């Protein structure tokens, strides 16, 4: 009884690993847009840490530019 249970669990595990391998697309190229947005053939997503840094850079750059133009 115990051997049959172990054998059944091993078979189920192997089937699960097989389905996982079939569902994973290793060759899916990921494209970065440089602002924290990434896309591949299936989906797009945001790396929020990178996006926050980019947004902060834009805000600081605009603020510094406005200060420089006020001195003219």
The pLDDT mean for the chain works out to: 77
Domain ranges of the chain: 27-72
pLDDT in tens, 20-53: 444 444 446 999 999 999 999 999 999 999 999 9
Q: Residue-wise over 28-66: b if at least 16 C-beta within 10 A, else e? A: eeeeeeeebebeeeeeeeeeeeeeeeeeeeeeeeeeeee
Total-model pTM: 0.48
């Amino acid at each position: 009884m115990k051997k049959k249970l172990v054998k059944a669990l091993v078979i189920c595990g192997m089937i699960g690993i097989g389905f996982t391998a079939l569902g994973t697309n290793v060759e899916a190229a990921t494209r970065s847009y440089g602002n924290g947005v990434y896309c591949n053939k299936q989906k797009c997503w945001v790396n929020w840490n990178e996006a926050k840094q980019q947004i902060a850079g834009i805000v600081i750059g605009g603020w510094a530019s406005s200060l420089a133009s006020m001195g003219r």
